[in-house]
Amino acid sequence: MSSYPHPLIAREGWPFIAGSVIIAMLVNIYVSWVWAIPFWIIAIFVLQFFRDPPRSIPFGKNLILSPADGRIVAVEIIPDPYLKRDAIKVSVFMNVFNVHSNRSPVDGEVCDKWYFPGKFINADLPKASLENERNALWIKTDNGADVTCVQVAGLIAKRILCHVKPGEHLTRGQRFGFIRFGSRVDVYLPLNTRINVNIGDKVYATTSILAEFRE
């Protein structure tokens, strides 16, 4: 996998951006600029959706960083359906105006990866974690902890992209995937983790600290 830094506009969006701009230009040229206005608005929306700004990584070996931009919609003790253990689940909901590039919350090796086809209900709902299309990564951190990071499709999200595979090593803040057009990311953490966020908090991928491993 290519290393970060990444282009300011995510590669996953280049075809969509090019297509929307070309359509707007053609309408502008062959119809009129008035009729082209809605198409230019769509092109601007698509451009902002696929923005992928660089992020600074906070210092601290025990920090668990947010894997996505958005709002915290769940902090709860719940069974981890992937590693079959009790865990603390922290969920970040992304709306269509958030950056949708996903970044690793921890340093560690990808031990396994699971993909599940599913529904496309509102990702803000709790049942979306188990019913929607999703891609899960089991990351064994460098300090030996198990973290499950799950990309979950949303109401209009139709494609989950994950660029890593088992055996690869991720560093905190490293870009590993993208979800197109609205979604959420669930992180399942060990029960003795210190949680630093509450429901309703706004977080930003890499720069926001979700939690800390206890010594």
Give the up-direction half-sphere exposure of residue 29: CA atoms within 13 A in the CB hemisphere.
6
Say how many C-beta atoms besides its own lie within 10 A of residue 198's C-beta.
Answer: 8
- Adjacent-strand bridge partners of 86: 79
Q: Which two tokens stand for residue 22?
A: 């070309």
Taking CA 195 as the corner, what is the angle to CA 190 and CA 201, rounded to the nearest 5 degrees? 135
- Asked if 108 contacts 147 with a C-beta cutoff of 8 angstroms, the reply is yes
DSSP secondary structure, 105-168, as one string? SSSEEEEEEEEE--B---TTSTTHHHHB-EEEEEEEETTS-EEEEEEEE-SS--EEEE---TT-
Give the distance from CA 150 to its chain's centroid.
8
Grouping H, G, I as helix, E, B as strand and the rest as coil, residue 208 is: coil
- Point out the catalytic residue in the list 20, 101, 129, 183: 183
129 is catalytic: no
Coil, strand or helix at 41: helix
DSSP-derived pairing of the beta strands 108-116 and 134-141:
antiparallel
Instruction: Please identify every residue annotated as catalytic.
Output: 183
